[in-house]
Each structure stands twice: as structure tokens, then as C-alpha cells.
Chains A and B, each alone.
Chain A
Amino acid sequence: MDNTNHQEHISSYAELFGTWAALILLTFLTVFISVFGGDLHTLTVAMALFIASVKAAVVGFYFMHLKYDKKMYRLMMTVVLSLFTFFLFMVILDYLTR
């Protein structure tokens, strides 16, 4: 067994910087929608959460290296997130149908 090798993809500085730039851009976008987009209530929240999820995915794939890791890591993450989504879904279902 190879215990010491990391055999890893090394992220370049440019790639990390590009990731950062994208994240900052998305942050400005979401603040802009909220502050200047008028009071859209539920729609604002939906958009804010959508952008947050895009940002989270960017952080996960590039900063946290999921894009370059073994498939197993993406699979496990998918399972964990689906499980959590299911929790949210079943609980809100209860409240929506009361």
C-alpha cells in the first residue's frame, strides 16, 4: 500500500484566483438583487439561495478539490446532501399540509 504518496493534482494559483473572482462576483450579484431588486420576498430568498448554492458548489469543487478527487468523495457528498434535502422536504411537507 502506498502510504505516503498524495499523487495529487496541484491547483494552480491562477485557478484559485479565478475561483475567488467568481465567488466575489456572485456575492455582489446576490447583494445587488437583495438591496436594489425591490422587495420580492420569497423570490428574493429563492434567488439568494440559488446563488448561495452555486457559490457552495464552486467552493466544493475548486477550493475543496472535489473536482480532482476520486469519484467516491463526490458520491459521498451527494448522498449526504440528498439525505439532508430529504429531511428538509419531509419536515416542510408536514407543515405545508397541516
Chain B
Amino acid sequence: MTAATTVEQPNFFQAKRGLFSWIFTLDHKRIGLLYLYSVGSFFLVGLTLGLLMRLELLNPGKDIMEAQTYNQVFTLHGVIMIFLFIIPSIPAVFGNFFLPLMIGTDDVAFPRLNLFSWWLYVLGALFALSTLVFGDGPADTGWTFYAPYSVNTTTNVSLSVMAALVLGFSSILTGLNFIVTIHRLRTPGMGFNQMPLFAWSLYATSWIQLLATPVIGITLLMIFAERTFGVGLFDPSIGGDPILYQHMFWIYSHPAVYIMALPAMGIVSELIPTFAQRTIFGYKAIAYSSMAIAFIGYFVWGHHMFTSGMSGPAAVIFSILTFMVAIPTAIKVFNWVATLYKGSIVIEIPLLFALAFIFNFLIGGLTGLVLGALAADVHVHDTYFVVGHFHYVMFGGTGFAFMGAMHYWFPKIWGKMYNKLWAGIAFAFVFIGFNVLYFPMFILGIMGMPRRYYDYLPEFHPLNMISTYGSWILAAGIVIMIVNLIVSKRKGEKAAANPWNGITLEWQTSSPPPLHNFDKMPELPEGGPYNYPNAKNA
């Protein structure tokens, strides 16, 4: 990895310049960054909406907005966070950037399709934003668009579902691209079992994107048609069945949870061996458990519908199947912990995020089992317990993995090192703020506070106040983190090609990577994908 071996090549930033060289680029690295900037912006919008909701809930009664506004805000918060942030986040940003690097190729299988899917993302985002200005404003249905309310409300549901449809298509194309890339473009000699685990998790995720998303596509199209023609399939007043809508919605949206979670697990599987400075423990178990989660994830959607009027026997079967998902998930956690055991651990910011991921995900996962248990779910369904649970999994899990990946690969992407002190401070704020914000929700849920209301009974006041204070700590942490990363990108000190002594393929090329990723054929090491040479073990 010394500079002497090759002539200095321009990196992918320098290769071309100008706005058009970015928005019409076919380079997977640039497309990954385009996604980073767009996904990141929408994360900030969603975050702001979340802060406004917490502010409204600071005290009982009206604080800053009316009930109807609150309904629209939480819907927009959900739509933006789910469709515009979490689903594309790790696959489209880090998947695009690092999948080709990690399997030793120079791009994804269909570079033009890749660019097209980013443009679809932008189009979908424009649809979602246009609900703000047209008609009666953004939808007030919740991100689930449950019929029959979504068919009857005067707010802008049609545009919102079109947005989700277009974004779904973008997500399908990304998934399709990754599957073909993994099948066809691995470097010669690299079998499926020599791929890094992040690639495995993307492979599993892509199959979900590919096979689940069309179902929501057609479902939303039916809602759209029902609203447009005024006749339809889900409105009970004309003989339709709203529970059928819920079935179809969750046939996609439950697997979609694994679109969000699996890549995050893949990230953690990369971070832990690097900073434990040893090869991963239980490679095959982690790889295949990703596939198992993807597979079982298709069979459990009914646990969102235990109180909907679905039949008893169906609910029991769904409940049992739900418990099965816990098995491959636990396998992963055990293997991560086993990798840390007797490793020579280096505490760096990305590792802190990975450890926080395990902590948060454990809480989120175990409370998920409470919700998956039929009898318990009936009591906490649609309470703040559910809100706490999915924020622990989505934000505490995927969000933390995203931030961990950001810090881990920052020097690879920009060739600079961030300020570690400020990164540590930001981490502390985010971790503490997150737990202060969401943990009280479990207690509120058990006490019986229902979700999706702008008001609550006086006895819930103290915990809601704590929760809102937590949201401010969290927001402060995120602001510090973003400022730190931006300043470091501009003025940070130059980073070496492999600052973490990383043991996977992407660290073997220079930082930032050259336009075609590798200046010479990558050589596969003995003993699997976590054994590439670095400064220490060479």
C-alpha cells in the first residue's frame, strides 16, 4: 500500500468536475454520495418534524399545533423517515459505494440503471414534498395509509402514495442491481463464501426489496385508483374488506423492516472484526442467518394485525412464526460477542456505535418479542410501547449503524480523518439523548398511553417531559456530529489508505479510491475475506 508501487492516479473526485459530472455520473461511488446527500437532507427534515412532535407533547393539551396539524406531521415524519431515509439509507449509500469495492470490481452490474434509480428517488421525493403545497396538505393517515380512511380523507393521500410507489420502484432497481452484481462481478476466485458479510447482508436485503416491494406497489395503486374513480376494493361501504388492505400492506411492510435492519447488521459485522483486530467468529452462521432472516421475514406480517379482526388461528400461527425470527437474530449477536471475546479491542468511534447498536437492538428486539406474543400484544397494541420498540430497532439499530458506518468509512471516502474528540462528544450526546427520548415510551405504553394523539392525560406528563428533553439532547448530538464531519471533510488531516488496520478488501485501495477502484488485480488472501494484510499483520 505504499505510494511507490503505482503512479499517483487521480481519485474519483478529481477525475471529473462540475455539477453535471455528478448528477449524470455512472460511477457507483458518486451515486452513493448523491444518495448520501439526498438521504441525509431528508433525515434532517424528518428529524425536525420529530422534534416538533415532541415539542407538542411536552405538556398536555395544545402546545404548538392543532390536532389535525399533528396528524399530518406524524404522517409526514413517518413517510419521510421510512421511504426517504431508512429504506434507501445503508443499501443505497454505503451499498452503492462499498459493495463493488468489497467484492473487487469497478462498478455495479448496471451503472445506468443505478443512476436511473437515483433519479427515481429524486422524483419520488418531489412527489412527497409536493403534498405540502397542493390540496388540503399532506396526508393525515399515518404512513400506513390504512383504508378506508385513506380513501375518504380529503388530504393529499394520492400524491403521497404515488411518492411511495415511485420510491418503491427505485428501491427495486437498486436491489436488482446488487443481486446481479454479486452474482456476476465478484473478483475471479471469490466465491459466495469469500464475500464480506456486508455483501451478504446486502444480498439478503436485495431479495426482499425485489420480491416484497411489488406487492405494496400494486396495493398503493389500488388505493390511488379507489380515490380517483371513487369506487373500489377496500371500502367496506361498497363491500370491500379493509383487513385485506392491511394484509397486503404488511406483506410488504414487514419484510421492509428487514430491508432496514439487515444492512445495519452487515455494517456491525464489518466494524467488530476490524476493531477487535481478528477475523470474524462464525462467518457462515452470520452469512446464512441473514438469508434466514430475509426468508422468515416474509412469513410474519400478520403480527401487525392481531387486533384488526383477523381470525384467531391465523393470529396464533403468525405469532409462532414471529418468534422464529429471533433465532437467526440471536445467532448474529452471539457471534459478534464471540468475535469481541479475546480480541485485542481498539476503542474507536465506529466501534462505540457498533456496541451501542447491540445494546439498543437488544432492547428493541426483546420488546419486539413482547409485541409478537399474541396475548401481550393485545394490551400494548397501538400504545407508546410500540413507538418505543420500533424506534429502538430503527433508530437505535439502523440509525446507529448508519452513523457508525459514516465514521468508519469517512477516511476511505474522503481521504481525511475526522476530529475524534468531537466525534466522541457527539456519540455521547446521541447515545444518551436517544435512550432518554425513547426509553420512557415503554413505560408510557405499559401505562396505557395511546400513540398518534397530540394530547394525553395528566398522569403521563412527567415521562413525556423527560422524553422531550431527550429529543433535545439527541438533536444536539446530531448537529455536533454533522458539523464535525463537514469541518473534518474540509480541514481534517489527511488519512492513510488504511487508518484502522482494516482487514477487508476495500482498505487495500487508496483513499479516496481511484476512478476504477483498483489499479491492479486485487489478490485474495488465504483464510477468507477478513484476512487482508495491513500494517500490523503484514
Which A residues fall within an 8 A CB radius of B? 1, 80, 83, 86-87, 90-91, 93-98
Contacts and interface: CB of A to CB of B under 8 A. Distances in A.
A94 B298 contact: no
Interface in B200-257: 211, 215, 243-244, 247, 251
A91 B317 contact: no
Interface string B288-331: 00000000001100100000001111100110000000000000
A72 B299 CA distance: 23
Nearest to A86: B299
A83 B212 CA distance: 10
B314 A90 contact: yes
Given A1-B188, A80-B211, A87-B251, A94 B302 contact: yes
A95 to B, nearest CB: 8
Given A83-B298, A86-B299, A94 B251 contact: no
Nearest to B308: A94
A98 B310 CA distance: 7
Contacts of B243: 94
A97 B298 contact: no
B298 A93 contact: no
A93 B302 CA distance: 12
Contacts of A98: 310-311
Contacts of B244: 91
29 contacts: A1-B188, A80-B211, A83-B211, A83-B298, A86-B298, A86-B299, A87-B215, A87-B251, A87-B298, A90-B302, A90-B314, A90-B317, A90-B318, A91-B244, A93-B311, A93-B313, A93-B314, A93-B317, A94-B243, A94-B247, A94-B302, A94-B310, A94-B311, A95-B311, A97-B311, A97-B312, A97-B314, A98-B310, A98-B311
B222 to A, nearest CB: 15
A90 B247 CA distance: 10
Contact of A97 (B188, B299, B313): B313
A93 B305 CA distance: 14
B215, B243, B310, B314 interface centre (most CB from chain A within 10 Å): B314
A95 B318 CA distance: 14
Given A90-B317, A94-B302, A97-B313, 10 more contacts: A87-B215, A90-B318, A93-B311, A93-B317, A94-B247, A95-B311, A96-B311, A97-B314, A98-B310, A98-B311
Contacts of B188: 1
B400 to A, nearest CB: 31
Contacts of B314: 90, 93-94, 97
A93 B313 CA distance: 8
A11 B215 CA distance: 34
A96 B313 CA distance: 10
A91 B247 CA distance: 7
A94 B310 CA distance: 6
Nearest to B186: A1
Nearest to B188: A1
A95 B314 CA distance: 9
B228 to A, nearest CB: 25
A80, A86, A98 interface centre (most CB from chain B within 10 Å): A98
A86 B188 CA distance: 37
A98 B313 CA distance: 8
Contacts of B312: 97
A91 B251 CA distance: 10
Question: 4 tightest CB-CB pairs across the interface, nearest first?
Answer: A94-B314, A97-B311, A98-B311, A97-B313
B297 to A, nearest CB: 11
A80 B298 CA distance: 11
Contacts of A97: 311-314
A43 B286 CA distance: 47
A90 B299 contact: yes
Contacts of A91: 244, 247
Contacts of B215: 87
Contacts of A96: 311
A93 to B, nearest CB: 5
Contacts of A90: 299, 302, 314, 317-318
A87 B317 CA distance: 13
A97 to B, nearest CB: 4
Nearest to A91: B247
Contacts of B302: 90, 94
A79 to B, nearest CB: 9
Nearest to A98: B311
B245 to A, nearest CB: 12
A80 B207 CA distance: 10
A37 B313 CA distance: 37
Nearest to A95: B311
A91 B299 CA distance: 11
Contacts of B211: 80, 83
Contacts of A83: 211, 298
A27 B211 CA distance: 30
B179 to A, nearest CB: 10
A87 B318 CA distance: 12
Interface string B495-529: 00000000000000000000000000000000000
A90 B215 CA distance: 15
